[in-house]
Copies of this chain bind each other. A is one copy, B any other.
Amino acid sequence: MFKAIVSAETLGTALDSVSVLVDECKIHLEEDGIAIRAVDPANVGMVDLSLDAAAFESYEADGGLIGVNLSRLEDIVGMADSGQLVELELDEETRKLHIQIDGLEYTLALIDPDSIRQEPDIPDLDLPAEIVIEGADINRAVTAADMVSDHIALGVDADAEMFYVEAEGDTDDVRLELDREDLIDLQAGAARSLFSLDYLKDMNKAIAKDGEVTTELGEEFPVKMHFDIAEGQGNVTFMLAPRIQSD
């Protein structure tokens, strides 16, 4: 059983953070909210999303699992004005999701969850450095790095108490330095890892420019980025595997 009402904006934001990595996903319809975990086909980027029942106008579920075509579902939700409500109801027999928006009913055929790539186990890493940064600064770093390279280094200089981003191109370089003043918070520790810019650009699309992103970093370790959605009644974790440094 699954029956819920949610604002188009909340649902859309939640789906965006998953669709930047995968086209299809499994959605867990837990009693206390929905949960999605997914990994991209190359096993490089992962997302872990939860959206609490409190983020919905009304919510009833008893632990089911559905598979959905994300871009189709986003298109439907995208037809609503951001303030409009989206009503979701699962028909267990036909395995279809009924979606209502102000008199418009869309019947979405679900996908067999067994046919969708297995959900990843997102490892619990103890990373030495953690920064809290504005989404707008991540956007600036990614945009600038993209002008010169297809990979990007994220690091923390523990002595200088500074977070930095570096990209080296064939002729030009980009470097962004943010110290304790420029950041919302900084827990210094030696950290530097190289990442694929393509993945960070995709993840950046799902990060609100005016939001806070908690970023955990290590030496040649994956980066973890956490941020709230739905005014704190949901949260997203991105994890991105490092690329091997080419020196």
Q: A161: shortest Cβ distance to chain B, in Å?
A: 14
* Set B79, B143, B175, B182: member contacting A79, Cβ < 8 A: B143
* Set B76, B103, B109, B178: member contacting A103, Cβ < 8 A: B178
- Does A108 contact B172, Cβ atoms closer than 8 Å? yes
Query: In this assembly, does A42 line the interface, its C-beta being within 8 Å of a C-beta of chain B?
Result: no
A198-230 near B? 1/0 per residue, CB < 8 Å: 000000000000000000000000000000000
* Set B76, B143, B173, B176: member contacting A107, Cβ < 8 A: B173
- Does B175 contact A105, Cβ atoms closer than 8 Å? yes
Query: In this assembly, does A93 line the interface, its C-beta being within 8 Å of a C-beta of chain B?
Result: no
Query: In this assembly, does A116 line the interface, its C-beta being within 8 Å of a C-beta of chain B?
Result: no
Measured between beta carbons, the chain B residues less than 8 angstroms from A178 are 103
- Does B106 contact A173, Cβ atoms closer than 8 Å? yes
* Set B79, B103, B108, B177: member contacting A177, Cβ < 8 A: B103
Query: In this assembly, does A121 line the interface, its C-beta being within 8 Å of a C-beta of chain B?
Result: no
Please provide the chain A residues from 133 to 164 with a CB less than 8 Å away from any CB of chain B in the complex: 140-141, 143-144, 147-148
* Set B105, B144, B182: member contacting A174, Cβ < 8 A: B105
- Does B104 contact A174, Cβ atoms closer than 8 Å? yes
- Does A106 contact B76, Cβ atoms closer than 8 Å? no
Q: A144: shortest Cβ distance to chain B, in Å?
A: 6
Instruction: Name the residue on B nearest A168 (C-beta).
Output: B107
Name, among A144, A172, A178, the residue most crowded by chain B CB atoms within 10 Å (CB to CB).
A172
Instruction: Name the residue on B nearest A177 (C-beta).
Output: B103
Query: In this assembly, does A171 line the interface, its C-beta being within 8 Å of a C-beta of chain B?
Result: yes
Complex: A109 Cα to B106 Cα, angstroms: 49
Q: A131: shortest Cβ distance to chain B, in Å?
A: 14
The 5 sampled A-B contact pairs (Cβ below 8 Å) are A79-B140, A104-B140, A105-B176, A106-B147, A106-B172
**Chain A residues with a Cβ under 8 A of chain B:** 72, 75-76, 79, 103-109, 140-141, 143-144, 147-148, 171-178, 182
